[in-house]
Structure 1
C-alpha cells in the first residue's frame, strides 16, 4: 500500500468533516443518557420519576438507540450489498472457466513477428473508466453523456461493441482483473492476478519478484529494442506498479516524485492522490517530444486517475 498513506488519512479526515455535527450530537445525547443512568444509580439525581422507573426509561433508551443503530446498519449494508452487485462479484471470483484452457497463448513460446520498421506505441490506461459514463442512448447509465469525446473515439474505432448493435456495451472483466495492479497485469500479461497468497499480494514491493515466470508486453518490446516508459500522477510504488514495470521491460518510471524532479509540479504540491490528469497529459506531451527524437522505437504507457 506504499503511496496511499495520504489518501487513507484524507478519507478518515473527510468522514469526520462531513459527519462531525451528527457524531457530536449523537455522542452528547448518548453520554447524557449514560450520565443520567449512573447518577441515578448513585442516587445523586433527584427527579419526580421514581428511581426504578427512571432506571427502566434510561435502560430502554440505551437499548432503543442501540437497536435503531443496528437496524440502520443492517438496512444500509443490505442496500449496498444488493445495489453494488457484491453477490454477483463474489460468485464471479469463484466461477470456473475454460477461457484460458482454450484461448491463452504463452508469450514465451508464441512466434511473435515485428515489421522491419517498428512502430511506436502510446498506451493510455484510463483508471476507473467505463462505458457507464455515456448516456443511455449510447448504452450508458446517464441522461447526459459524461464522456462525449471518448464515446466518439469508441464509435469511430475498435471497441467491444458487437457488429449488430449500435450501443457501446463495453468489455466484461473476469475475476481478479478489476483493481489497479490487477487490471494492469491483465491488460499487459493476458492473465488475472490470481495468486492465492494474501501475504504475497500485500508485498508487491521491490524485494519481491512480480510473476517472474510470465512474459509481458514490456518484456516482448524490450527484446525488440524498444525503450519502455511508464507515467502516472501518483506514487509509482503503490500496489507494486513500479516493481512490475521495472521487472517486466525495464521501464523508466515517471511518477509523482519524478514530476517534482522535472519541475512539472512544486515539491510541496499534492492534490488528493498526487496531481491532476491535466498536468499529467502536459507532462506526457513534454516527455514524448524528447522521446520521439530517438532513433529506437518506444513504448510510452501512462495511467490516468
Structure 2
C-alpha cells in the first residue's frame, strides 16, 4: 500500500498538469481565433463595442452567417484542435510504450518544447485579442479622472412655438471620404449630392467627425440622439441590464433624456423604419423606450408581403423597398399632421451599404470595385426619396437631416484599405435642410456626433437653452459655452469620451436620471 501511494499521487499530478495545459491551450486558441475573426470582419474595435454589439448578432436579419462563423471560430475550431492534439498525444504514448519508452533526457526535451509551444499560443492569443479590442485603452480609461457626469447637460427647451416636422435618415457606413473621385473610381455620393445642393438651400457640417470610441450603428444612433458616448461596460454588468443585450433588455439607457423623449414631450409622433431585425443590438428597445411610438423592421416587411428578391439573407430589406415604404409612411404622417396639427419625426436607417457587398437587380455595377457601385446605388435610392419629398411639397414645413451612422468599417475582408487605412481626413457624410431659414450662416465645422443631438432638436424648431444637450452643443451655434465638454482641449476631450464614467452609466442603464 505504501508503495502504491506515491504512484497514485504522481499519476494524479500528471493528469492535473495535463488538464491545466489543455485548458491554457484552449483559452489561448479561443483568444487567438476571436482576435483574428474580429479583425477580419470588423477591424479594430473597443471592449465596449464588443460587449454592446457582437453579443447581439442574430441569425435572422442581424448578421446572419456571422453567427455561425463565430461559433465555428470560437467554439468548434479550438475544441477540434484540442481533440486533435489529445489524440496525437495519446497515439505517441502508445507507440512509446510499445517501443520500450524513451530516455529521461528525450522526455524532458519533448515536454519543454510542448510547454514553450503552449505558452506561445497563450501569449499570442492574449496579445492578438487584447490589441484587437483595445484592452489596454479600456484599462487606462478605468483610471481616468474625467467623468461624463461632470459635463452632461439635460436639455432644456425654452420654446416650441416654431416646431416643425423632422425627417432623419441614417446612411449605413455613410463615410464622406467615398465622395472623393480622386481616391475612388467615382463619387459614390453623387446622386445624393445632386439632390441636396447648397444652391438649393441645403447645408452641411464641414468635416463631421465620428466621436472618439464610436464606430458602429447603435453608437451612431444613440450618440446623435442622446449626446453621450455609448458605453455599457462595468456599470451595465453590475446593474444586470446587459442581460442578453441585443434581444431582451428591459430598457436601453432609460435614465437619459434623448431626442425621441424630448419630441414626445412636445407632441411629436415618432416613427422609425429599418430594413434589419429590430431586435438586433436592442435597437427597438432603445427607440421604443425613448419616445418612438412605431418601430418597423424585418418582420414587418415580411408580414407586408415584400418579395423575396427584396431581402438579403444576412441583414434584411433592400433600400429601394425601404424607401418605397418610407414614401407611404411620410404621406400618411404628413396628412395626419396637417389634420391634427401634431408634428412628426420620421427616422430611418439604410442597409444596402453594409458589407459584404450584395447587389440587387436594380443596381448596375459599373466599377471595378463592387462596393463603389453598391454605395452609388444606395445613394440613388435616398436621393429619390429626397426628390419625392420636394415634389410633394413636404420640404416647405419639414426639416431633413441625412447623415452616416459611422465611418466605413475596415475589417480585414472589407474594401478600400488602400484608400482609407492611412487616411487622416475621414469624415461622415451629412446634409441638413431647414425650411424657410436664412441659409447664409455656416454650421460650426468639425463637430462630432455628440453635437448632433442639440442640432437635431434645433432643426425640429425647438429652442434649446444655451444650445446644449448631453455633451454636445448645436452646430447652429458658432460658439460653445466655456464650461461645456466641447470647450475642453482635444486631448482632455478625448480622455473624457474614453473614460468609463461608471457612476454616470450605472444610473443611465438603471433608469435613473444622471443629471439628478
TM-score bracket for this pair, using the shorter chain length: 0.5 to 0.7
The answer on whether the counterparts of 1:228 and 1:251 sit within 8 Å (CA) in structure 2 is yes
Q: Corresponding residue for 2:165?
A: 120
Per-residue Cα deviation, 1:78-127 (whole angstroms, up to 9, x for no partner): 4665577654465457644477645x4422x3314341xx4322212234
Q: Pick the aligned partner of 1:247 from 261, 285, 289.
A: 289
Q: TM-score normalised to the size of structure 1?
A: 0.66
Within the alignment, does 1:52 sit opposite 2:102 as a pair?
A: yes
Specify the alignment match of 1:106 in structure 2: 154
Decide whether aligned partners of structure 1 residues 97 and 237 sit closer, same or farther in structure 2, where only a CA change above 3 A counts.
Answer: same
CA-to-aligned-CA distance 1:158-207 (integer Å, 9 cap, x gap): 2252xxxxxxxx415145x5554343222112233456131213366677
Scaled by the length of structure 2, the TM-score of the pair is: 0.43
CA, structure 1 residues 73+297, in 2 after alignment: closer, same or farther (shift >3 Å)?
same
Going from structure 1 to structure 2, the CA distance change for 1:285 and 1:214 (only over 3 Å counts) comes to: same
Q: Aligned equivalents of 1:16 and 1:208: distance in 2?
A: 27
2:362 aligned residue: none
1:14 to 1:216, Cα distance in 2 relative to 1, 3 A: closer
Match of 1:144 among 184, 188, 191: 184
Partner residue of 1:186? Answer: 223
- The one-character-per-residue Cα deviations of 1:213-263 (angstroms, maximum 9, x if unpaired) are 432211222233322111122221233321222222243111111111112
Query: How many residue pairs were aligned?
Result: 279
CA distance in 1, matches of 2:142, 2:167: 31
Give the SS at the match of 2:270. strand
In 1, the alpha carbon distance for the partners of 2:138 and 2:319 equals 29
Alpha-carbon spacing, 1:257–1:90, altered in 2? closer, same or farther (3 Å): farther
Aligned with 2:345 (options 295, 299, 305): 299
Q: Are positions 1:173 and 2:187 aligned together?
A: no
**Which blocks of at least 5 consecutive residues in structure 2 are unaligned?**
1-54, 352-516
Q: What CA distance in whole angstroms lies between the structure 2 residues aligned with 1:299 and 1:292?
A: 10
Verify the 8 A CA contact 2:273 2:295 in the aligned structure 1.
yes
The aligned runs of 1:62-73 (5 Å cut-off) are 64=113, 67-68=116-117, 71=120
RMSD: 4.7
* Counterpart Cα distance in 2 of 1:252 and 1:3: 23
- Alignment-derived partner of residue 140 in structure 1: none
Q: 1:201 aligns with which of 236, 242, 249?
A: 242
- Structure 1 residue 9 displacement after superposition: 7.2
- 1:298–1:34: structure 2 CA closer, same or farther, 3 Å change rule? same
Distance 1:133 1:53, change over 3 A: farther
Measured in 1, the distance between the counterparts of 2:108 and 2:320 equals 57
Tell me: higher relative CO, structure 1 or 2? Use CA pairs within 8 A at least 6 residues apart. 2
Distance 1:290 1:35, change over 3 A: same
CA distance in 2, matches of 1:221, 1:184: 16
Deviations 1:52-78 (A, max 9, x none): 169948983x86477456536644654
Indicate the residue corresponding to 1:256 in structure 2: 298
- Kept in 1, the 8 Å contact 2:223–2:229? The answer is yes
Question: 2:315 aligns to what SS in structure 1?
Answer: coil
Contact 1:233 1:256 in 2 (8 A): yes
Whether 1:274 and 2:316 are equivalent positions in the alignment is yes
Q: Which residue of 1 aligns with 2:66?
A: 11
SS at match of 1:111: strand
Note if contact 1:3-1:236 (Cα within 8 Å) is conserved in structure 2: no
Structure-2 separation of matches of 1:240 and 1:71: 38
Q: Write the deviation string for residues 9-38 of structure 1: whole angstroms up to 9, x where unpaired.
A: 7335436889xxx99997897467425313
- Cα distance in 1 for partners of 2:127, 2:142 equals 20
Q: Secondary structure at the match of 2:158?
A: coil
3-state DSSP of counterpart to 1:200: coil
Aligned partners of 1:17 and 1:240: how far apart in 2? 24
Over 3 Å counting, the alpha-carbon distance change for 1:214 and 1:173 in structure 2 is same
User: Cα–Cα, structure 1 residues 119 and 144, in superposed 2: closer, same or farther, change >3 Å?
Assistant: same
Q: In structure 2, do the counterparts of structure 1 residues 201 and 148 end up closer, same or farther at CA, with 3 Å as the change threshold?
A: same
